[in-house]
Structure 1
Amino acid sequence: MSMRRRVRGAIELTRPLNAISAGVLTGTGAYVAGGAVLGADADVVLAAVVATVLATGAGNAVNDYFDREIDRVNRPDRPIPRGAIAARGALAFSLLLFAGAIVAALALPPAAIGLAVFNLVLLVAYTELFKGLPGVGNVVVGFLTGSTFLFGGAAVGRPLGAGVLFALAAVATVTREIVKDVEDVAGDREEGLNTLPIAIGERRALWIGVVILVAAVLASAGPYVWGTFGSAYLLLIVPADALMLASAVQAFRDPGAAQRRIKVGMLLAVVAFIAGRAVPVG
């Protein structure tokens, strides 16, 4: 196996767009919570973003390491199943990224460091303990995704400043993960995992996803109702909510397309929060 092929496989393990997106979410959390990411806060926000990118890449890599047998069925194009990188190499690379994330996190305030340590433990526990438990793995992934916003807020001294954004992202991610589990039922069943769709049936699992997403959509009205954000937020959060709800319903017909559209809706919701912070309430 050539060095170039191994390097490309290692980079692909991190799902670079996914990792960079997580870093952007951390920066967004800092902005929504603190109103600025420049000036005195620039260094800590940058450290938080770097820590998030590295930790997310490490998490994706270690997840592929533990999922290598499942991926031979569900995702044969991923680096380990197709032979682009050896399983042991993927594990070593993930540990290197985790180490880099820890170094970056040491520049942050205590609350951010505490959250980073908690998330690291939770991420390792997820791959070993929670992933195959009905619904539990989905909730863990939802929390880890949403907590990128809390992490950004913690970096600027306001851990709960992006609390509503955390809740919306976490719940939308839980729904998306349920839809992904429906899409992956064949491989998960073959591997002996007991995911929510396998445990209670695909339609029931999808209905749970729809119900909790509706609750999140209702909560997303909070910043406008409370007067925290104005019309700019409302103009963007309404189509974001509509897209996520429509996608959750679409999951009953086409889970693959639905989970991708939920992700688009989540990104639009992030833009809504940025606009809400940027445009003063009239």
Structure 2
Amino acid sequence: MQLVFRYLFLAQSYIDLALTEFNYILLVISTVCIAAGGYVINNIMDQDTDEIAKPQNRVVGVSISETGAYNWYIVLTIIGVGIGFYLSNVIYKPTFASMFILVATLLYVYATNLKQIPLLGNIIVALLLSISIVIIALFDIFPATDLENYSRMDRAFDILIDYAIFAFIINLIREIVKDLEDMDGDYQTGINTLPIAIGIQKTKILVGVLTIMAIVILAYYLKTSLFELDYTIYYALVFVFGPLVYFGAKLINATTKKEFHHLSTMLKIVLFFGILSIAVIVLNLKYAQ
């Protein structure tokens, strides 16, 4: 996602960028390391749940010891946060290093405590995904902005924020669907997720409302900002709207773990093609000129 935004959007938009290619790759590595650390600590804390919900996919306690997993978590997190400190000084914004610390801390707190609070844990995970887009704007655009290029830079900054909002909404929906998928394991291990707290039907209604909101917001954005870009509209209808509508239709009668897993996969597809749409927009703009 971060590589797509850099090389298929920012690098093609004739704007000034604060990070060299090497430093941008470091930003990607930092993000990946912190996210990987979060994934490891989450797997450590989810051993009992995974043994019930998905025993065939267990890693911690099977392929690697718990101690070994903790070592991986520490190393990955230190590398990610350390690179964040370095990059913050490179752009002369040392306080920006706090973002990397905040993300690493939220991932740990989520894995150990927050995931047991209905909806809050889902919001935190969705927010962390959107931060990985916001961080591009803060590190690659904001430091290179001045009075002369403000208009162009502000537009690029706004586009990244728009995509961050899109990623947040889609991933929030997906996190709730994953809770529906893992409901049996969560219930048996005492994790109080949203479906357990309010029931499957009410959770599905909430997911349906969020899906409709996503479709309406996306339609409004296309109408107000991209309506003249024909290929972008066609792309969005086929690869984003289509899967979202399909998701909503399938959600109505979904009841089994397999069906919820399928719905989660559909949202991955929506997110993937949604991110790639930035390249379609850039190409469509160039073609229109």
TM-score, normalization: structure 2? Answer: 0.80
| Deviations 1:223-267 (CA, angstroms, capped at 9, x unpaired) | 533436833322222221220232244234211111111111111
**Cα distance in structure 2, aligned partners of 1:234 and 1:112:** 36
* Residue identity (%): 19
Counterpart of 1:116 (choices 80, 95, 100) is 100
| Deviations 1:189-247 (CA, angstroms, capped at 9, x unpaired) | 01111100001111211221121122122222455334368333222222212202322
Name stretches of at least 5 consecutive residues in structure 2 with no aligned partner: 143-156
Alignment length (residue pairs): 257
Contact 2:226-2:232 within 8 A present in 1 as well: no
| Deviations 1:60-108 (CA, angstroms, capped at 9, x unpaired) | 1110011111111112121124x21111110111110111112222224
| Deviations 1:139-192 (CA, angstroms, capped at 9, x unpaired) | 111111122211222221246541111111111111111111111111100111
TM-score, normalization: structure 1? Answer: 0.82
Moved runs in structure 1, 4+ residues, more than 6 A?
Answer: none
Contact 2:12-2:282 within 8 A present in 1 as well: no
Counterpart residue type for residue 233 of structure 1: T
SS of corresponding position for 1:148: helix
Change (3 A) 1:121 1:68: same
Counterpart residue type for residue 3 of structure 2: G
Is 1:71 matched with 2:50?
yes
Counterpart of 1:80 (choices 60, 63, 78) is 60
Say which one has the larger Rg: 2
2:76 corresponds in structure 1 to 97
Counterpart of 1:126 (choices 101, 110, 113) is 110
Contact 2:115-2:121 within 8 A present in 1 as well: yes
Contact 2:5-2:278 within 8 A present in 1 as well: no
SS of corresponding position for 1:162: helix
Change (3 A) 1:277 1:222: farther
Change (3 A) 1:278 1:150: farther
Is 1:46 matched with 2:45?
no
2:36 corresponds in structure 1 to 57
1:148 corresponds in structure 2 to 132
1:268 corresponds in structure 2 to 273
Contact 1:44-1:156 within 8 A present in 2 as well: no
**Cα distance in structure 2, aligned partners of 1:199 and 1:277:** 44
The farther-off stretch of 172-181 and 107-116 is: 107-116
The farther-off stretch of 193-202 and 203-212 is: 203-212
SS of corresponding position for 1:272: helix
Contact 1:134-1:196 within 8 A present in 2 as well: yes
1:26 corresponds in structure 2 to 2
**Cα distance in structure 2, aligned partners of 1:62 and 1:194:** 19
Is 1:233 matched with 2:212?
no
Q: What root-mean-square deviation, in Å, do the aligned CA atoms of Structure 1 and Structure 2 show?
A: 2.4
**Cα distance in structure 1, aligned partners of 2:111 and 2:218:** 30
Counterpart residue type for residue 165 of structure 1: Y
Is 1:242 matched with 2:247?
no
